[in-house]
Chain A
Amino acid sequence: MSRQRLTWIVLGVVLLALLVVRGFVGQGLGRVYVQADQVSLAQMDEKGADGSLVKVWKPVPAAQATQQWTEWSQAAPKAYFEAVAKNPAQTDITLSWPRTIGLWLAAFFTLAIFSFLYSDNVFYKLAEATVVGVSAAYWMVIGFWDTIVPKLFGALTPDMVIKWVQPSLQPAGAMQQASMWLALVLGVMMLWRLAPRGGWIAAWPLAFIVGVTAGLKIVSHVESDLMAQSVATMQPVVQLVPAADGGTDWYASLWPTLANALVLVGVICALVYFLFSVQHKGVVGATARVGVWYLMITFGASFGFTVMGRIALLAARFEFLFDDWLWLIDPNHLRS
């Protein structure tokens, strides 16, 4: 038996043993409770903003409702324990098997992804295949219900959208309808890429995307990044701090003045470094060198912040495992 296989077996047995022990100690682990919320609605007349009567749906007692269903919201385990302590036969808060199974599946996926750190393995590959399939479909569903239905169908087939999806939809104007016809035609052209012949037509919608992106970006970048940043750099270097006696506190003025000077010098030197059409020799070379130093400090700061961000994300995953799954810690007092 190879060393790696032996390690996997040992890790698996240790994890299983820990789970079994944890399951029998204290409150156990990894359960999700839900509370049933009965939704009962009936249509009523109400005065609108303009004084006319409008029909609105309002919550009513179950006996009067014309539309009814049950929704389930997650309840803290503490609420379940308290409810059972009061009345062992209560059914308001119950264990949710789908969500509990989901929780364990989420824990499995988390550990499966982490297992890649040791070596590539079947669990990681299963998790990877799942994330590819689920996320590809997820973005398609979002694109359909949040973009295509309200914008495209909402403009071209408003009656259908009002009846089935969004009763408060406002009909689109002629210009908006025309632009949605344009989008539909260009969208179909885009899909023609999948056809065996005529895929060249996809260049037309691509051209539209490239052109619109270029037009959109140029104004914002020039206004915000070029002009506003240049203005922000062109501030008075000398900043005088008034003293208590009405004069100038020269020592206190030194530091903001130094900061302003360093920023101005840094921006100019780093911009000189980016001038690749001029040889970096002599004065230009020395200036560019100072610019490189500034950029190195910038990248060092970026690295420090990036590390901070990554560790925070890792901490969040560990919190999920220790709090939500294993019930080893309870920082939000959801169980006690």
Chain B
Amino acid sequence: MNMVDRLNALDRRWVFLLMGLAVAVPILWIGITGNTFPETPTPAAAAVFKAVEDQPEGTRVLVAFDYDPASAGELQPMATALLHQCAQRKLKIVCIALWPLGGNMAQQTIAEVIRADYPAMREGEDFVNLGYQAGNEGVMKVVLTDFKKAFPVDARGQATADLPILQGVQTVKDFPLLLNVSAGYPGSKEWVQYVVSASEGKVKMVAGCTGVQSPQMYPYFPGQLAGILGAIKGAAEYESLVNQSIGGDVAPKYREAQRRMAPQLFGHLLMVALIVAGNTLFFMGRKGARA
């Protein structure tokens, strides 16, 4: 068996091992040194930052947590950075979830960002978690006509009709900005289809999506979507923008996506090398067969 044949028949477990090392070693290195790569924001990520930055202080914004722990690796840094910028801009934050575990993700993010670093913000007045509501697109249809009917109580069980933060809110059109972190269905696509398109331009939306979903959301940008954070790279770009604008010492929890770019780099380089190697072996084998 010559070299080409031997490599063609290579046990795939060696490839698995290479991928494991390509991801694990940079994580250990970054974890020990704390260094990260510099990030240059792309227009889509910069647009998300600008959309939040343009909101005047005290504006009510809706943050939809449509993901679960399985996708938290990509999406949690986005959610953290979004809440961080909103809290720093002194916006009034209303969190909802259309995924069952999204309510927990909202609670966790609120604890990590707002309760930890913005203790002066009061629940019910400056921020609130309305928790999960079953119904997928049905909920989106209802929030277009009666927001409090869709979310009658918050995550603590208190009636939303009594919450100061929701005074004057009739429909989702009373939120000038919708920030969505989405892992699939229901998520960004459905928010665009059912809410943004039907809101007569009153609701501006920005979306943070997984790598699988991001390419499908680009056609909506910049018309129906004001900005997109695509996968962990988008999260890293947005994090760096938010951290730069806030300045000072940045807590490690606000650099999670930037830390993950190191394993991304080596993982991607390995993928490119594997594709090149595979094709090289293929063409060499074809040439040998013809000879």
Contacts and interface: CB of A to CB of B under 8 A. Distances in A.
A313 interface: yes
A32 to B, nearest CB: 16
Contacts of B268: 307-308, 311
Nearest to B219: A229
Contacts of B223: 228, 231-232
A270 to B, nearest CB: 11
Contacts of A166: 153, 157
B197 A309 contact: no
A26 B112 CA distance: 27
B118 interface: no
Contacts of B187: none
B24 interface: yes
A308 B157 contact: no
Interface string A305-321: 11111111111111100
A312 B231 contact: yes
B159 A332 contact: no
A309 B157 contact: no
B159 A118 contact: no
Nearest to B149: A170
Given A223-B197, A302-B215, A312 B31 contact: no
A196 interface: no
Contacts of B162: 48-49
A229 B217 CA distance: 12
Interface size class of A (residues with CB under 8 A): 35 or more
A319 B32 CA distance: 12
A315 B212 CA distance: 16
Contact of B157 (A117, A167, A319, A323): A167
Interface in B259-283: 259-260, 263-264, 267-268, 271
Contact of B16 (A117, A323, A328): A117
Size class of B's contact patch? Answer: 35 or more
A315 B134 contact: no
A85 interface: no
Given A307-B271, A313-B71, A318 B197 contact: no
A322 interface: yes
A329 interface: yes
Interface string B26-43: 011011101000000000
Given A169-B152, A302-B215, A147 B28 contact: no
A313 B231 contact: no
A330 interface: yes
Contact of B13 (A118, A143, A225, A231): A118
Interface in A103-160: 117-118, 139, 142-143, 146-147, 151
B252 interface: yes
A86 interface: no
A221 interface: yes
A331 B267 contact: no
8 contacts: A169-B153, A221-B193, A223-B198, A225-B193, A231-B223, A309-B211, A317-B73, A331-B34
Given A310-B211, A313-B71, A331-B34, 13 more contacts: A166-B153, A168-B153, A224-B194, A301-B215, A302-B216, A308-B232, A309-B211, A311-B268, A312-B260, A323-B31, A329-B28, A329-B32, A331-B256
Top 9 A-B residue pairs of the complex, sorted by shortest distance between their CB atoms: A329-B31, A309-B211, A316-B73, A224-B197, A224-B193, A311-B267, A305-B211, A147-B134, A312-B232
Interface of B: 13, 16, 19, 23-24, 27-28, 30-32, 34, 70-74, 100, 132-134, 137-138, 141, 152-153, 157-159, 162, 190, 192-194, 196-198, 210-212, 214-216, 219-220, 223-224, 230-233, 252-253, 256, 259-260, 263-264, 267-268, 271
